[in-house]
Amino acid sequence: MGANMARRLKDQGYPVTAVFDAFPKIAAELAAELGCTAAATLAEVTAAADVILTVVTDDEAMRGIFLAGDDSLLAGAEGKVFINCATVSPAVHEEVDTACRQAGATALEACMASSIPQARDGTLYLMVGGTAETFGKVEGILKDLSSSLRHVGGTGQAAKVKALVNMVMNINTAGLAEGLGLGAALGLDLAMLKEVFSQTGANSRVLVTDGDDMIAREHDCYFSAAHAAKDSGIANELAASAGVNTPLSLATEAQYHRMVELGLGELDKSGVAELTFPGRTAH
């Protein structure tokens, strides 16, 4: 996601000055492509740019790039703006926002309800949390990355919305896998079943994005099962803290954790069908 966002910004005429990755070889290859520096440290990234976009995997990684002692994006960060695009817990976005303000910098969360092709094409759906002032400073950049842009409120609010988006998406994906899997077990024509689903209350966005992949067992990764487990977990933790019962989301999280346990965590989320279709290795 981060590499394709960098490519998009380069295409739009922005001076992409530095890239960084936990795997230096990846950063070096992207830097050569974009004609920029492959930063060896996080501090070098901050020194090279006024606006820094981050895309990391989870809460631990987010804390690692901002709050670690030895090397941090907040070294020399006064006046810088950070746009943090990872799906992490609202509490971590709040921690990072506080740390940025203490360093004289500002931060936004720009949560993405989209995938790799949209990052490359600049058609992301972005939900942004943070102050209106900071949003205004980088609104042009965000518009060039997105086809839908919403400033949903203060720090942590976008992360809450994103958690609920992924919670419902993951439930729908697991539900579709069960419906198609049961249809296969009953000997139904799955193309017909998909068409009926699309014309009735069984319709959903994931029917379009994942239905054929479930049937064909094509699980090239756009959004991994491991990330689905993580994101459903964030939503379920929010539900527990709010005293809300979410049995469907808890069951969905368990399904995706089961994929991870079976060594299927790097398959696309559509791979949850491997747990529901008859005769499949994980069934």
HSE-up of residue 114 (Cα within 13 Å, Cβ side): 25
pTM, two decimals, is 0.89
Average pLDDT score over residue span 109-132: 94
CATH number of the domain where residue 138 is located: 3.40.50.720
221 phi/psi in degrees, rounded to 5: -85, 120
**Domain end point (choices 129, 154, 179):** 154
Q: What confidence score (pLDDT) does residue 114 get?
A: 83
Query: Is the pLDDT confidence value at 132 over 80?
Result: yes
Quick one: pLDDT at residue 115?
84
Q: Quick one: 138 and 181 in the same domain? A: no
CB-CB contact of 211 with 176 (8 Å): yes
Neighbours of 159 (CB within 10 A): 26
Task: Please tell me whether residues 182 and 133 are part of one structural domain.
Answer: no
Q: Residues 164-206: pLDDT tens digits?
A: 999 999 999 999 999 999 999 999 999 999 999 999 999 999 9
**Whether the predicted pLDDT of 282 surpasses 70:** no
From first CA to last CA, the distance across the chain in angstroms is 31
DSSP-assigned letter for residue 126 = E
- Residue recorded with tokens 């509490």: 91
b/e for 248-274, b at 16 or more Cβ within 10 A? bbeebbebbbbbbeeebbebbbbbbbb
pLDDT band at 283 (very low <50, low <70, confident <90, very high): low
Return mean pLDDT, the chain: 96
What pLDDT, in 10s, does the model give residues 47-57? 999 999 999 99
Residues 135 and 189 in one domain: no
Mean pLDDT computed over 248-258:
98
Q: How many Å apart are CA 70 and CA 52, to the nearest integer?
A: 19
Nearest to 258 by CA among 176, 174, 182, 175: 174
pLDDT over 90 percentage in the chain: 95
Residue range(s) defining the domain that contains residue 190: 160-275
Same domain for 83 and 20: yes
Co-location of 149 and 168 in the same domain:
no
Do 178 and 148 belong together in one domain?
Answer: no
Assigned domain for 282 exists: no
